[in-house]
Amino acid sequence: MNRRKPPKSWKFLDSLNPDIAMLQEAAGTEGMNIVNLVHEVHIKKRNKNLIYVPEKSFKPVSTLAESGIRSPNKLNKNTGKRTIRGTKMGINVCQIDDTKLGVVFFVSVYGNLDFSPRLTIILHYVINKYIYELRKENAAKNIIIAGDFNMDRRMDNPEENHSFFHQGKMVNFFFDSILKLGFFDCLKSKYPDYIQTHKHSLSSYQWQIDHMFCTKELYGELKEINIINNNETKELSDHYPIVADFSI
């Protein structure tokens, strides 16, 4: 879920009674009474990538985002000078130990557009490297990857009516590479074509740029998945929440 309007969004989130929530482009939690329930990674400006665990105990896992993968500096075409952005690729990871499948790792993803036009390549590298490290260093078997990727498979299709066409099928390569790592596309289990998850302020195109993937055993425990697209969520954010129920 991409969360834009606190504190209303926290009230809505708590109404869902989640065991865990992954929130991208979120405001920080300074001054709130939930600091022990949240692990946050700074992305850019005042935006954070948050993992919120209201009930269970969790452990943060050191991420590549925290180790300094930063966006390229921005060239000012008028002055010829480069502005230091200093923003990060938004990856946040936590583990929860007490499930019936054992340890489950939650990877919250924000595809930072400051990395464009190389977002697909860099995010592909970050996810592949980090999943490799999770499996090697933490013996991770059960992993959920979800968040705002800022990518839709239809971006590769020149026949679609939008202005985000990618030459070379790079977006499909990116998502296929996640599947090749042993993940399953959770939203496709209910919405085999696509489902709108984002309303762009300048376009009527029904973008699906938010996604959720999980490993095989978790996929077998996926009982329900929905996109909440109603007046309340439209007011809170330009992204619609993905709500998934795993029997773990």
How many other CB atoms sit within 10 Å of the CB of residue 177? 14
Position 236 pLDDT exceeds 70: yes
Confidence at residue 107, expressed as pLDDT on a 0 to 100 scale: 93
Question: What's the pLDDT tens digit per position in 62-92?
Answer: 554 444 454 444 445 565 554 444 457 778 8
Taking the C-alpha atoms of residue 136 and residue 139, their distance in angstroms, rounded to an integer, is 6
Residue appearing with tokens 């269970």: 56
Confidence at residue 63, expressed as pLDDT on a 0 to 100 scale: 52
Domain-located, residue 215: yes
Question: What's the pLDDT tens digit per position in 176-223?
Answer: 999 999 999 999 999 999 999 998 877 778 999 999 999 999 999 999
Confidence at residue 53, expressed as pLDDT on a 0 to 100 scale: 86
Give the 3-state secondary structure of residue 158: coil
Taking the C-alpha atoms of residue 111 and residue 207, their distance in angstroms, rounded to an integer, is 15
How many other CB atoms sit within 10 Å of the CB of residue 37? 18
Question: What's the pLDDT tens digit per position in 159-182?
Answer: 665 556 555 578 999 999 999 999
Question: What's the pLDDT tens digit per position in 5-59?
Answer: 556 778 888 888 899 999 988 876 665 666 567 787 777 777 788 888 887 666 7
Domain-located, residue 116: yes
Q: What angle do CA 128, 39, 25 make, to 5 degrees?
A: 75
Checking DSSP bridges between strand 104-110 and strand 142-148, what pairing results, if any?
Answer: parallel
Question: Which of 140-149, 153-162, 204-213 is the least confident region?
Answer: 153-162
Q: At 144, which CATH number?
A: 3.60.10.10
Domain-located, residue 147: yes
Average pLDDT over residues 139-159: 91
Position 94 pLDDT exceeds 60: yes
Domain-located, residue 236: yes
Q: Which domain holds residue 109?
A: 58-246
Reported as half-sphere exposure (CB side, CA atoms, 13 A), residue 146 has a value of 24
Q: Tell me the pLDDT band of 100, cut-offs 50, 70 and 90.
A: very high
Taking the C-alpha atoms of residue 230 and residue 28, their distance in angstroms, rounded to an integer, is 25
Taking the C-alpha atoms of residue 127 and residue 113, their distance in angstroms, rounded to an integer, is 16
Confidence at residue 246, expressed as pLDDT on a 0 to 100 scale: 96
Q: Total structural domains in the chain?
A: 1
Domain-located, residue 5: no
Q: What one-letter code names the amino acid at 245?
A: D
Position 148 pLDDT exceeds 90: yes
Domain-located, residue 29: no
**What residues are paired with 30 via a beta bridge?**
none
Reported as half-sphere exposure (CB side, CA atoms, 13 A), residue 55 has a value of 8
Domain-located, residue 27: no
Residue 141 near residue 217, CB atoms below 8 Å? yes
Confidence at residue 7, expressed as pLDDT on a 0 to 100 scale: 63
Taking the C-alpha atoms of residue 175 and residue 109, their distance in angstroms, rounded to an integer, is 13
**What residues are paired with 68 via a beta bridge?**
none
Q: Which two tokens stand for residue 58?
A: 């969790």
Domain-located, residue 1: no
| Rounded percentage of the chain residues whose pLDDT exceeds 70 | 77
